[in-house]
Amino acid sequence: MKYILSILILFCLLCGTAAAAEWTPVTITDDYGYTAEISAEPQTIVSLGPSNTEILFSLGLGDKVAGVTEYCNYPAEAQTKSIVGGVSSVNVEKIVALDPDLILANAMNGEDNIAHLRKLGYTVLCLNPDSVDGTFNAVCRIGEATGTSAAAAELVASMQQRLNAATEKVKTAGVPPLTVTHIMSTDPYWVSGIYTFQDELITLAGGTNAFPEVDGWGIINLERLLTADPDVILVDSGAGMGEKGENLLKQSFMTDLRLSSLTAVKNDRIYVMDSDTFDRGGPRIVDAFDELVAVLYPESAESPAATTPQASGFGSVLTLAGGALALLILRKNI
């Protein structure tokens, strides 16, 4: 039996090697309508966005990732790769030095940088997963572009299964709908309106966006916040921490006397969300959803989702310092 098993394993390995050698050219269209033909299996990849980096590592392509941005902090191995600048300040010279077969870009890299890289002859796919389905599509397209379609399909199926299980648990929770807002700064008040990634997660978790009149990410004034009076306020981590380790954004809500009448403040329902998962369209959206359900339904002792598949963005980049610009650029499919 052991002999037969060894033969089967060897056969699979040989088939895998043969399949890798017999690359069939594929044509991929990115989120902005650009179509590229990938004539050979990419061996050197540069990722210009945290979500793309997480997807690549989840598909087992970490060894082919040569360069990442300074915001690509997950998984830990990503931080050992060459840094090619920030997200909106990529260093073209460093990218050229790596001579990648494939570059996975994001909207925040800037049209000029992307166009320049393409003029230099590089294959650049710009992916901007800003929804659950968009994330699934990004995983599948990266899989197709790298010859890992089977792994991509398996990853998407696993993510979908976990999300389905969690949403079913929410439906049976029997908790009245909560009005929820996700706020990224207080001066001004930047909120996630409808058609945003955060709005979709809130809706899937059985909540209602407190600002449905805001299309995408936008600014509201103090009066509008007080009138909406959300049951729950979500704030990002990474928006600045005080000397004692407290989240300054949360503290601003708890200490501002003008906000003391808010239901979320009175009931101590202001929660700090991990921005690296809650603001990224990568495989860890299932963890983000798990975290969200846990804060909306604290009476539920069991977490509705399991552990993230292998590895998994723009979380920490959407902080107070550059939030306004980042949010404007990330608005629906610019």
- DSSP letter string, 229-262: --SEEEEETTS-B-TTS-BHHHHHHHH-GGGTT-
Beta-bridged to residue 220, according to DSSP, are 189
pLDDT on residue 171: 81
In the chain, the number of structural domains is: 2
What share of the chain has pLDDT > 70, as a percent?
Answer: 81
Establish if 1 belongs to a structural domain: no
pLDDT class of 21 with cuts at 50, 70, 90: low
Same domain, 179 and 326: yes
Same domain, 195 and 326: yes
Establish if 2 belongs to a structural domain: no
**Helix (H), strand (E) at residue 134:** helix 132-146
Same domain, 194 and 112: no
Q: Where among 122, 155, 188 does a domain terminate?
A: 155
The residues, ordered by sequence, that sit 6+ positions from 162 with a Cβ below 8 Å of its Cβ are 286, 305, 306
pLDDT class of 187 with cuts at 50, 70, 90: confident
Q: What digits encode the pLDDT tens for the residues 116-167?
A: 999 999 999 999 888 899 999 999 999 999 999 999 999 999 999 999 988 8
**Helix (H), strand (E) at residue 116:** helix 111-119
The residues, ordered by sequence, that sit 6+ positions from 299 with a Cβ below 8 Å of its Cβ are none
Same domain, 53 and 194: no
Same domain, 191 and 321: yes
Same domain, 115 and 187: no
Same domain, 187 and 324: yes
pLDDT class of 311 with cuts at 50, 70, 90: very low
Same domain, 189 and 144: no
What is the rounded average pLDDT of the residues 163-174?
A: 83
Establish if 161 belongs to a structural domain: no
Same domain, 119 and 226: no
pLDDT class of 173 with cuts at 50, 70, 90: confident
Establish if 10 belongs to a structural domain: no
Same domain, 78 and 181: no
Establish if 298 belongs to a structural domain: yes
Same domain, 147 and 209: no
pLDDT on residue 238: 65
Same domain, 137 and 207: no
Answer whether 276's CB lies under 8 Å from 138's CB.
Answer: no
The pair phi, psi for residue 47, each rounded to 5°, is -110, 125
The enclosing domain of 234 has a CATH number of 3.40.50.1980
Q: Where among 127, 155, 183 does a domain terminate?
A: 155
pLDDT on residue 19: 43
What is the C-alpha to C-alpha distance for residues 54 and 73, in angstroms, rounded to an integer?
9
Query: Which domain covers residue 253, as residue numbers?
Result: 175-330
